[in-house]
């Protein structure tokens, strides 16, 4: 009898909207990053310096990058299996193999340093190898930054394209990338690469095997948005355009590209019609090509973002709030239409990659500013990968108000 009552009560609770929580699930956690045994033994490994920067999924592989911003990083592009029961301190496995991830010597084409990856619907993994060792006080460009594309079905590198000297500046930092392609048009793919410290966007056309650089004032930081506080650490950043997210293809055959600076609170947009066309993209006077969508308001500085194309929902990592935010891009871009999905001042420090994979949103938090400007405790959990179904994550937020 008691059981029946309990079952009834829980059954009723389940029917009340809001009894399922919005937000994210902690899926993988690390106190410190380690590598599969064969890798760790092969090269010097300084665990304190291995900070995972990105998470992206293809089938059962979850790709995790570790850019070389300090010595002692054995492998920059890695993955873990998602189909295991082990969820804590899972060792990283080099991808596509360990040899190519070893720090290159001489003029070999090994990977130097990779920040984030893009998975496209044609089973390809895209990234920029910055070619640069960013050791403090000893920044060393070993190679020209290059677009690298790997066929995920064969694990083969199918293209390595070195950016032209004109595409980059001596301050260039290419830390994110988004690929504009549909499953029916794999060959006419474009990659857009925000240059967060050179304040530009580099475009690469897969079909033309050619690249160009786009300049605009909106790629710069906002003067009033450079102060940050994370985990009791105060610091300034001067990072411009950090992330660019694509809408679904619109009736005119192009997409909206929404973008923002890390040290900024504005969301801007431009049609991919402009970015894809070398002449339009590089013209001196851009007229009304670029638009201010909204000033989201104080403390809304955002790092990575991605857009779930079916629902139109844009997800943004809010670094100053230790939070994940959303905006339904089918609603007007007003500050009111942005909402917080998840916030945790301890567990959610520095959401540094946000990816949509199918109907899931994937976020990695890595407490990077505490590493840079404070001190991490490597006996506590520092790195987390969060995953949740998009529609569950936004439950009861303003982003869910529109029926899907």
Ligand X SMILES: *[C@@H]1O[C@H](CO)[C@@H](O)[C@H](O)[C@H]1NC(C)=O
Chain contacts with ligand X (rule: CB under 6 A): 60, 81, 83-84, 159, 161, 170, 209
**Distances 375 to 5, 230, 319, 367 between C-alpha atoms, Å:** 51, 12, 18, 10
Q: How far is CA 39 from the centre of its chain?
A: 26
CB of 243 to ligand X, least distance (A): 24
* Rounded Cα–Cα distance for residues 350 and 22 (Å): 20
Quick check: bond before 96 cis, omega within 30?
yes
CB of 210 to ligand X, least distance (A): 7
Burial state string for 94-118 with b = 16 or more CB within 10 A and e = fewer than 16:
bbbebebbbbbeeeeebbbbbbbbb
Q: Enumerate the β-bridge partners of residue 187.
A: none
| Closest CB to ligand X among residues 159, 276 | 159
Neighbour order of strands in the sheet with 383-389: 25-30, 383-389, 360-365, 351-357
Q: How far is CA 44 from the centre of its chain?
A: 28
Neighbour order of strands in the sheet with 210-215: 178-180, 190-195, 200-205, 210-215
* Rounded Cα–Cα distance for residues 200 and 111 (Å): 24
| Closest CB to ligand X among residues 33, 149 | 149
| Closest CB to ligand X among residues 60, 346 | 60
CB of 366 to ligand X, least distance (A): 25
CB of 86 to ligand X, least distance (A): 9
CB of 81 to ligand X, least distance (A): 5
| Closest CB to ligand X among residues 44, 84 | 84
| Closest CB to ligand X among residues 130, 256 | 130
CB of 164 to ligand X, least distance (A): 7
| Closest CB to ligand X among residues 60, 234 | 60
Q: Phi, psi at residue 247, to the nearest 5°?
A: -75, 175
CB of 42 to ligand X, least distance (A): 23
């Amino acid at each position: 009898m008691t059981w029946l009552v309990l079952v009834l009560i829980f059954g009723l609770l389940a029917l009340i909207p809001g009894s399922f929580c919005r937000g994210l699930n902690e899926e993988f956690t690390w106190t410190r990053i380690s590598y599969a045994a064969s890798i760790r033994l092969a090269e010097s490994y300084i665990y304190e310096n291995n900070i995972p920067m990105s998470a992206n999924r293809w089938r059962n592989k979850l790709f995790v990058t570790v850019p070389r911003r300090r010595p002692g990083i054995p492998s920059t592009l890695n993955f873990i299996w998602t189909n295991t029961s082990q969820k804590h301190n899972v060792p990283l496995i080099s991808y596509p193999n360990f040899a190519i991830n070893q720090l290159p010597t001489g003029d070999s084409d090994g990977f130097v340093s990779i920040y984030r990856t893009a998975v496209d619907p044609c089973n390809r993994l895209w990234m920029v190898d910055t070619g640069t060792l960013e050791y403090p006080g000893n920044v060393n460009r070993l190679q020209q930054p290059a677009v690298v594309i790997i066929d995920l079905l064969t694990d083969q590198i199918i293209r390595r394209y070195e950016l032209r000297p004109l595409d980059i500046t001596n301050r260039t930092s290419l830390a994110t990338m988004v690929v504009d392609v549909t499953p029916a048009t794999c060959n006419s793919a474009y990659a857009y690469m925000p240059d967060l410290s050179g304040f530009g966007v580099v475009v690469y056309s897969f079909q033309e095997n050619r690249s160009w650089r786009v300049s605009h004032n909106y790629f710069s930081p906002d003067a009033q948005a450079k102060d940050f506080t994370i985990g009791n650490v105060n610091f300034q950043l001067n990072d411009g355009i950090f992330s660019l997210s694509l809408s679904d293809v619109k009736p005119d055959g192009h997409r909206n590209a929404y973008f923002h600076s890390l040290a900024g609170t504005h969301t801007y947009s431009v049609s991919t019609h402009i970015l894809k066309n070398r002449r339009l993209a590089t013209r001196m006077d851009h007229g009304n090509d670029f638009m201010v969508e909204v000033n989201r308001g104080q403390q809304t500085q955002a790092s990575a973002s991605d857009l779930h194309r079916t629902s139109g929902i844009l997800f943004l990592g809010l670094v100053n709030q230790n939070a994940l935010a959303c905006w339904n891009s089918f609603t007007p871009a007003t500050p009111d239409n942005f909402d917080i999905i998840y916030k945790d001042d301890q567990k959610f420090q520095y959401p540094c990659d946000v990816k949509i994979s199918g109907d899931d949103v994937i976020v990695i938090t890595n407490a990077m500013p505490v590493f840079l400007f404070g001190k991490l405790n490597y006996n506590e959990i520092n790195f987390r990968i969060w995953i949740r179904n998009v529609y569950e994550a936004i439950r009861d937020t303003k982003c869910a108000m529109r029926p899907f």
